[in-house]
Chain A
Amino acid sequence: MTRAADGPFDWERVERLFDELVALPAANRAALLEALRSDEPALAGELASLLACAPLADDFFRKLPHASAAVAADLVRSGSDSPLLDRASGVWTDDHPGSVVAQYRVEDQLGRGGMGVVYRATDTRLNRPVALKFLPPHHWVDGRARERFRLEARAAAALDHPNICTVHEVGETPEGALFLAMAYYEGETLRERLTRGPLELDAVVDIAAQATSALGAAHAHGIIHRDVKPGNLMVTADGTVKLLDFGLAQLADVTVTASGQTPGTIAYMSPEQVRGERADARSDLWALGVVLFEMLTDGRPFVGDSEAAVLHAILTRQVDVRGPRTGRPPVPDDMAHVVERLLRKEPAERYQSADELLDDLSSLGRIDAVPRRAGLRWFRLPRMRRVRAQVAALVLPALVASAIGVMYWRQSAGRQSPNAATEARVASLAVLPFKNYSGDSTQEYFANGMTDEVTSTLTKIEGLRVVPHQSVRKFEHSDRSVLQIAQKLDVRYVVDGSVLQDGDSIRITASLIDVTRKAPIGMQRFVRGRREVLALQHELALAIARAVEIELTPQDLERLGDAPPVNPDAFDNYLKGTTLRDYGTSEHWRDMSVAVDYFRRAIAADSGYALAYAGLASVYAFSGDVTQAREFAEKAIGLDPKLADPYIVLGVLRQFEDLDWAGSESAFRQAIRLNPGSAEAYHELSMLLMRRNKLDQALAAAQRALHFAHESARFQSGLAEVYYHAGRYDEAVRAAARAQSLDPSWIVPVGVQAAAYGQLGKYEEAVAGLKKVTEQAGGDVCFGELGFSYARSGQRVRALEFLRACEAGLKKHGQRDPGLAYAIAKVHAGLGNREQALEWLERAAEGGPRWMIYVRVDPTLVSLHAEPRFRAVLKKMRLDE
């Protein structure tokens, strides 16, 4: 489209000429312009000025995107909310699927009307379908209107009645859109039903009675509906009537005349509303009268060519419900009477309450069935009808039900039924080891430690499935790409960052990568002073959660807790301690004592530093110093009850030291409550449950641990153990094999697998495996399973040899080695020497719980289970539940 601007320029011509001229060298250009000037001076002038601007314009436009980028950034920073839909003509978008509003995910649109649009949505928190009704935009901005709406909706939400549509909540989107979340019902409105044809009289009364019941409940709470009409009465598939849209009629200021109403509803206005007077309960009943009239006669009581005419009719015309109508049976007298009374011009002459109306409706005798639901008071049959009622009660429900079924079943062509089987969303992610950007290799511990701390913080958020840092660590020096690592770890998102301590501040730069899209979602810098490192972790965790669109629950926030300032020296030493503890050298014991030193220094810097105590507890637990481990675990918990790891330590100690099985279980469960993403806690729990012979639960817990870290040899091995003790030997073999493939250098799964082979009767494999384990363990240790396998496979000589070796070992270590005694017991069990097996078992039990924790579930001892002495041992171990 071209139009002359400041003169009769043909825009396209100018454009073409400009294009020609701009490419020419200056001299030629000048010449051409001169030539043009003599014929068309204005055009030449225009071109000249444009050409003069061209080079400057190029430069200008090269820089200009910064301006729009800056404005965009400003917009994003300021969070400004311009009214979203001014430009979209004030009507909510047609197509909203997949959008998320608070915890609701919109599925599809159900309908729209003057009062807004209704969508079917899924409440992702409670896994149930809801109906979301959005108010039209012109309602959003009036503060008073919003407040009124909220009050009314809240009141309506408090109503609990089978015939009132349940309101779950009133909400507001960030754009300021108001919505109601309501229960979703499959059915149709009365309006829709009426378009399909006439209703049976019984159905009419039934519907009226249910609607009246609803109104009665609302009125009893002081709530007037104000918008009773067929469009607001829904009939569900089983014939229940639901009254909808409480609280919405309040929005349109009802004292305003018809123009304030949504179109079509003036037909239901009562005379007092038309006159601008206050509406009360009786106005609702009037509207119900109009509805009743429509149901009975297929027409409206007050009609007119214009709105004004309708209003006039409402005020002055006498209602004619008894008159003959074509194609319809006449309305029975008793029903006509009800309608007429409902539609009296003077409120004082109508039914004064819903109860009164109900009495009359029920005395119509049309429905003699028993009440469908408790709480409905409406069937108080007059005495004389009772006999008939009892007979009828047998027959009618079926009739009524089927009639209702035929009439009210929604034709759901093309619509899917609400599917409640959608799961709340979980986002899976892994935090890659932070890179150390300080240039100082002695700072490695800081990068490692921060990675672990951040990972740990993230596990407190239930909506995230976080891979434990130990599992991620395995890929630290691999040459795989980030995407490959992510695929191995089976995560959707990866956090890839670097950390730097710079003077007094800590700086983390992190990218969040979406693996499925193979692209970063974004990158952010987080900078805080050293004292605020906890706040820094929280900030990062929250930013990650938001970026992957996981909403934090109140429990998550509770678990995260506050982020009080931290003593930087204490934190530093703490990180050094944990790094050494978790990733030390092969000189374990030395590492542990150095770690202890660091933790102690942390405590010296800050005597209330709970994490340092937790660190001490874990190290002492590992090294077997039970007293100190317990002391420090309890101290840590005392200082900070939200720490999960000390509970894990306690859980282990309670098993091995106290035989407090219940106490152990509760400790692990507490750890899980505090850190729902703690794979470690689940693993330990699974081991405990296994030892207590709660094998199904143990299996579930073991699988849960793997759910977070299925690359973990340790957890796979744990799973193998559970299978083994549950008697599922084939599965044990397979799980153990997986564990071995994940970590070929670790010997434990070899042992588990071998033991399982032994139970399967594959004695060759069993012996080979167990021998291997024995060798690796230093040749000095006795694995009872090996002797057991010899015994069971009929290699009696070998079995006896094995026994002798064990006994020799006993002599060497002093007669009190419970481990050896336990092994010997197993071999005897395998040989069928029950007496001796029990004797050795009892000796082992005297040595303390540590070796006996498997006794309940150990397959090699199954042959002893019936023996009283065995049960006595169990009792001693408190495993006799």
Chain B
Amino acid sequence: MNDGDPRTPNVSTLLGELRAGDTSAVQRLFPLVYEELKRIAQIQRQGWLDAETLNTTALVHETYVKLARGREGDWRDRAHFLAVAATAMRSILVDHARGRSRAKRGHGRAPLDLAAIDEVIGEPMESIPDIDVLLALDGALDRLSELSERQGRIVECRFFGGMSVDETAEALAISPASVKRGWAMARAWLYRELTASREG
């Protein structure tokens, strides 16, 4: 453990700083999380999870446990951590999806065919359509964030981080009621965004 040495901040210290409002701590936490997620994914790559789907929420929570290393502060610390991890998770997935997408077809994302989604969601093996879905979501989320950063963050926390309403509220320093409202509207907005383009 790197308890004594102030020059090597550990996750708990960073979380403390996050809570105290030091947003640069996010910068420092991000690569840690990113890397831990990759590392877990690698271990699990060896086949220890059912290879058809990977529960990303569990992965995010797993990361927290590992990085917090037994000093799992209170649930509020965890909430802040998860929020960052959610962002990291989104990046990882989107990075990968983009890479795949580029390999298959060039740039640009065609808008989604709803029927295709319906078919596809029950059939995760051929992941090409899932990649499209994820990329489209990512793009739409970016656009949402421009309009409302708060809603964008809520979606990240709830969807990519699997965080509860209370955890999201804590992490974003808003009320749970705000979270619920924001989540409801964000979903509607995103759905509309994802499916609207055909109509010109």
Contact = CB atoms under 8 A, between A and B. Distances in A.
Nearest to B65: A517
Given A53-B191, A69-B53, A93-B31, A22 B184 contact: yes
Contacts, number: 211
A65 to B, nearest CB: 7
A140 to B, nearest CB: 15
Contacts of B121: 63-64, 66-67
A50 B4 CA distance: 54
Contacts of A517: 65
A69 B56 contact: yes
B91 A53 contact: no
A18 B133 CA distance: 26
B174 to A, nearest CB: 12
Nearest to B50: A523
Interface in A48-75: 49-51, 53-54, 56-58, 60-61, 63-75
A348 interface: no
Interface stretch (A84-92, A197-205, A268-276, A820-828): A84-92
A53 B53 contact: no
B113 interface: no
Interface residues of B, number: 75
A60 B115 CA distance: 11
Interface in B1-43: 2, 4-10, 27-28, 30-32, 34-35, 38-39, 41-43
Contacts of A525: 50
B110 interface: no
Interface stretch (B76-84, B144-152, B164-172): B144-152
Interface string B54-77: 111101000001000100000000
B198 interface: no
Interface string B93-117: 1011101100000000000000001
B32 A97 contact: no
Nearest to A50: B188
A522 B188 contact: no
Place the interface of chain A in its size category. 35 or more
B41 A15 contact: no
Nearest to A1: B149
A174 B137 CA distance: 29
B148 A1 contact: yes
A72 B48 contact: no
B53 A19 contact: no
Nearest to B143: A5
A79 B191 CA distance: 31
Contacts of A77: 45, 51
Contacts of B42: 76, 79, 174
Given A523-B48, A524-B49, A76 B93 contact: no
A567 interface: no
A72 B53 contact: yes
A54 B48 contact: no
Interface in A106-145: 108-109
B149 A67 contact: no
A72 B95 CA distance: 11
Contacts of A563: none
Given A1-B149, A3-B147, A66-B53, A18 B185 contact: yes
A93 B8 contact: no
B45 to A, nearest CB: 5
Given A64-B137, A71-B96, A95 B32 contact: yes
Contacts of A108: 2, 5, 8
Interface stretch (A213-221, A339-347, A541-549, A796-804): A541-549
B46 A95 contact: no
B124 A19 contact: no
Nearest to A548: B43
Nearest to B147: A5
Interface string A12-25: 00111011001000
B49 A51 contact: no
Nearest to A93: B31
B97 A512 contact: no
Nearest to A79: B45
Given A18-B184, A68-B160, A76-B54, A57 B191 contact: yes
B176 interface: no
Contacts of B192: 49-50, 53, 57
A73 B99 contact: no
Given A73-B124, A76-B45, A68 B32 contact: no
Contacts of B97: 71
Contacts of A19: 181, 184-185
Contacts of B44: 76, 522
A604 to B, nearest CB: 36
A543 B55 CA distance: 19
B188 A547 contact: no
A84 B38 contact: yes
Given A97-B2, A523-B49, A15 B182 contact: yes
Contacts of A74: 96, 100, 127, 130-131
A257 to B, nearest CB: 32
A777 interface: no
B137 to A, nearest CB: 7
A853 B59 CA distance: 59
Contact of A76 (B30, B41, B91, B130): B41
Contacts of B48: 512, 521-524, 543, 546-547
B104 to A, nearest CB: 12
Interface of A: 1-3, 5, 11, 14-16, 18-19, 22, 49-51, 53-54, 56-58, 60-61, 63-80, 82, 84-85, 87-89, 92-95, 97-99, 108-109, 174-175, 414-415, 512, 517, 521-525, 542-543, 546-547, 549
19 contacts: A11-B151, A15-B151, A50-B185, A65-B159, A68-B160, A71-B134, A73-B53, A75-B41, A75-B54, A88-B31, A95-B28, A109-B7, A109-B8, A521-B48, A522-B44, A524-B47, A542-B46, A547-B43, A547-B48
The 7 closest A-B pairs by CB, nearest first: A522-B48, A57-B191, A88-B31, A70-B124, A69-B53, A72-B54, A93-B31
Given A79-B42, A414-B5, A543-B46, 4 more contacts: A49-B192, A71-B127, A82-B96, A525-B50
